[in-house]
């Protein structure tokens, strides 16, 4: 049997939640599929390093039509001609929406493969209020897609109300991980220059260093939590300078560990005494599931599905998004109570084991992708 050829249209391909999940699925499909990845931000390709060596994957760059540019039928025809090479097109987030519109406008006339769109959240420009023009564009573009996948209840509701998608068109697939892998003992060497002296507490997070993650807020919360608290942030992105500047302003630059992107969080997330998220917007963050599987207590802003994701016992440490003092207080309380952290860590691990295994996630995606391609084959033959 020949390999399934899949075209991935990404808003960007730096390693974040959606990219981590896409890479996991590519690795899971193994030699059954080959992949071509286009990014609307051409140089944002950091997640490529997480793809297994044996996976057939290409990054054509300028050899493929760009995902960015002024919408127009000329651009769409070029994209459509490129899409014809594949069995399935997978698009991700707003930055890929021109590809989705291409499939809706030209799919029938040019015999294009089916397209499944994935939405995982919003950037800082849509945190407080969704952009009505983007809502309209999504509503039109998604009309002829083969399905819309979202990870959270929040996005499921938005898809129905703001994008006018029928309930049977939406597939809510919670993110999943290999929970038992994260339960293994963490390795200090996996987090370069990791420092934790006697009596110190390490607050850690894994995030793309983007404005929507509001990591300067986490710097302020850690500074307020006490001189014995350190902060470790694994990730890369344009906000690195702002994070360092805030740490220097508050006099805690010597307590900040910022090693950049680190492959395989299962090797180091268990080093954190507390896992924290300070985001202005999230949906169903994979990094949170990873921390729970590693037995971490969690302090986070109350955005997306975060409150419902953590264990019942941990929910009082999920604080209002705009209350910086509450986040600092949550971190300070957890930092000062070893027994509480241990209790919450065990409860979070049990929750991850029961609800967030990757086996079910893989099965859901495999079934959806396979069903859509079989329907397309049947339609072509009849």
pLDDT score of 20 more than 90: no
CA angle 144-147-149, nearest 5°? 140
> What are the residues whose beta carbons fall under 8 Å from the beta carbon of 286, sequence distance 6 or more?
17, 20, 21, 175, 177
Q: Are 126 and 137 in contact (CB under 8 A)?
A: no
Residues 118, 146 contacting (CB under 8 angstroms): no
pLDDT range class, residue 129, cuts 50, 70, 90: confident
Token pair 């010597």 is at which residue? Answer: 254
What percentage of the chain exceeds 70 in pLDDT? 99
- CATH classification code of 4-176+358-381: 3.40.50.2000
CA distances from 119 to 18, 155, 345 (A): 9, 8, 30
Specify the pLDDT at position 379.
65
Q: What are the tens digits of pLDDT across the range 244-289? A: 999 999 999 999 999 998 988 999 999 999 999 999 999 899 999 9
Give whole-number Cα distances, 30 to 7, 24, 223, in Å. 15, 10, 45
- Compute the mean pLDDT over every residue in the chain, rounded to the nearest whole number: 94
Closest Cα partner for 117 from 152, 144, 136? Answer: 144
Q: How high is the pLDDT of residue 380?
A: 72
Q: Indicate if 179-355 has the same CATH topology as 4-176+358-381.
A: yes
Confidence of residue 121 (pLDDT cuts 50, 70, 90): confident
**How high is the pLDDT of residue 123?**
73
Domain boundaries along the sequence of the chain:
4-176+358-381, 179-355
Q: Give me the pLDDT at residue 62, please.
A: 92
pLDDT of residue 17: 80
Confidence of residue 132 (pLDDT cuts 50, 70, 90): very high
- H or E segment and range at residue 35: strand 33-39
pLDDT higher than 80, residue 68: yes
Query: How many helices and strands in the chain, by DSSP H and E?
Result: 13, 13
- What angle, 0 to 180 degrees and rounded to 10, lies between the N-to-C axes of helices 338-355 and 324-335? 110
Query: Quick check: helix, strand or coil at residue 290?
Result: helix
Determine the pLDDT at residue 325.
96
319-340: average pLDDT: 97
The residues pairing with 36 across neighbouring beta strands, listed in sequence order, are 7, 58
Look up tokens 């919670």; give the residue.
Answer: 174
56 SS3 class: strand
The partner residues of 232 in beta bridges, in order of sequence, read 204, 257
125 three-class SS: helix
Asked if residue 287 lies in contact with residue 277, where contact means CB atoms within 8 angstroms, the answer is yes
Model confidence band, residue 162 (pLDDT cutoffs 50, 70, 90): very high
User: Smallest Cα–Cα separation from 306: which of 341, 280, 328, 332?
Assistant: 280
Task: Look at residue 210 and tell me whether its pLDDT is greater than 80.
Answer: yes
Residue 36 has pLDDT above 70, yes or no: yes
Residue 82 has pLDDT above 90, yes or no: yes
Q: What is the pLDDT of residue 122?
A: 81
CATH fold of 179-355, please?
Rossmann fold (3.40.50)
- The percentage of residues in the chain with a pLDDT greater than 90, rounded to a whole number, is 87
Name the pLDDT band for 382 (thresholds 50, 70, 90): low
Q: Compute CA distances 66 → 11, 29, 144, 257, whole Å.
A: 11, 26, 21, 36
pLDDT value at residue 352 = 96
Tokens of 82: 């490129």
Kind of pairing between the strands at 88-92 and 229-234: unpaired
- What is the pLDDT at residue 244? 98
Q: What is the mean pLDDT of residues 200-219?
A: 95
Percent of the chain as helix, strand, coil, to the nearest 5: 50, 15, 35
pTM of the model: 0.80
For residue 46, the SS3 value is: helix
- Determine the pLDDT at residue 257: 98
**How many angstroms separate the Cα of 339 from the Cα of each of 141, 198, 232, 333, 345?**
51, 17, 22, 11, 10
DSSP state string for 298-349? EEEE--TTHHHHS-GGGGGGEE-TT-HHHHHHHHHHHHT-HHHHHHHHHHHH
């Amino acid at each position: 049997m020949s390999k399934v050829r899949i075209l991935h249209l990404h808003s960007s391909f730096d390693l974040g939640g959606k990219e981590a999940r896409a890479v996991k699925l590519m690795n899971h499909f193994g030699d059954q599929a080959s992949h071509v990845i286009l990014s609307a931000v051409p140089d944002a390709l950091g997640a490529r390093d997480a793809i297994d060596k044996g996976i057939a994957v290409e990054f054509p760059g300028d050899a493929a039509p760009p995902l960015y540019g002024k919408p127009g039928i000329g651009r769409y025809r070029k994209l459509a001609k490129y899409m014809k090479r594949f069995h399935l097109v997978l698009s991700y987030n707003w930055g890929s929406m021109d590809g989705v519109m291409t499939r809706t406008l030209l799919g029938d006339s040019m015999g294009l493969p089916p397209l499944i769109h994935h939405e995982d959240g919003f950037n800082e420009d849509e945190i407080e209020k969704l952009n009505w023009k983007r809502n309209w564009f999504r509503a039109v573009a998604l009309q002829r897609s083969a399905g819309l996948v979202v990870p959270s209840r929040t996005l499921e509701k938005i898809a129905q109300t703001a994008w006018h998608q029928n309930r049977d068109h939406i597939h809510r697939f919670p993110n999943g991980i290999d929970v038992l892998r994260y339960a293994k003992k963490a390795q200090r060497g996996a987090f370069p220059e990791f420092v934790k002296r006697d009596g110190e507490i390490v607050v850690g997070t894994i995030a793309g260093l983007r404005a929507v993650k509001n990591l300067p807020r986490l710097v302020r919360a850690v500074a307020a939590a006490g001189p014995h608290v350190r902060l470790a942030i694994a990730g890369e992105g344009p906000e690195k300078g702002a994070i360092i500047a805030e740490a220097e302003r508050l006099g805690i630059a010597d307590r900040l560990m910022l090693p950049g992107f680190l492959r395989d969080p299962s090797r180091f997330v268990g080093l954190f005494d507390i896992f924290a998220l300070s985001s202005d917007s999230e949906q169903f963050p994979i990094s949170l599931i990873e921390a729970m599987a590693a037995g971490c207590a969690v302090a986070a802003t109350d955005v997306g599905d975060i409150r419902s994701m953590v264990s019942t016992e941990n929910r009082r440490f999920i604080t209002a998004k705009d209350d910086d003092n509450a986040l600092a207080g949550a971190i300070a309380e957890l930092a000062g109570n070893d027994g509480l952290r241990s209790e919450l860590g065990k409860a979070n691990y049990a929750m991850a084991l029961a609800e967030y295994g990757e086996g079910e996630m893989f099965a859901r995606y495999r079934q959806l992708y396979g069903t859509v391609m079989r329907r397309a084959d049947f339609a072509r033959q009849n």
